[in-house]
Amino acid sequence: MKSGYLSFNSEVNRIHVSFWDSDKYDLYCGVTFGALIDGRWMPTRIEFSSDWYLVDLFESGNIPVELKVRM
């Protein structure tokens, strides 16, 4: 399992994971991962409606910049 943080790639209108080892992974609808929320790893998946959102965690357009994740 690798850890990193979320960031937005405006060139392709996608959120990607920037891993600590400098790898990057573009996310697409349905990808599952854990997000660190208030010190706890919460399972989620990313989806797109009018903007990107994390199911059961953040509404469309409200994903925090540099949210820590693992996958």
On the 0-12 / 13-18 / 19+ scale of CB atoms within 10 A, 3 is middle
pLDDT digits (tens, 9 = 90+) for 48-60: 998 999 999 998 8
- In whole angstroms, give the CA distance from residue 51 to residue 60: 5
Taking the domains of the chain in order of start, what are their residue ranges? 3-70
CATH number of 3-70: 2.40.10.390
What integer pLDDT is reported at residue 70 of this predicted model?
96
pLDDT digits (tens, 9 = 90+) for 4-46: 999 988 888 899 999 989 899 999 999 999 999 999 999 999 9
What integer pLDDT is reported at residue 37 of this predicted model?
95
Exposed e or buried b per residue across 38-51, where buried means at least 16 C-beta atoms within 10 angstroms of its C-beta: eeeeeebebeeeee
- In whole angstroms, give the CA distance from residue 6 to residue 4: 7
What integer pLDDT is reported at residue 19 of this predicted model?
95
Q: pTM value?
A: 0.88
What integer pLDDT is reported at residue 22 of this predicted model?
87
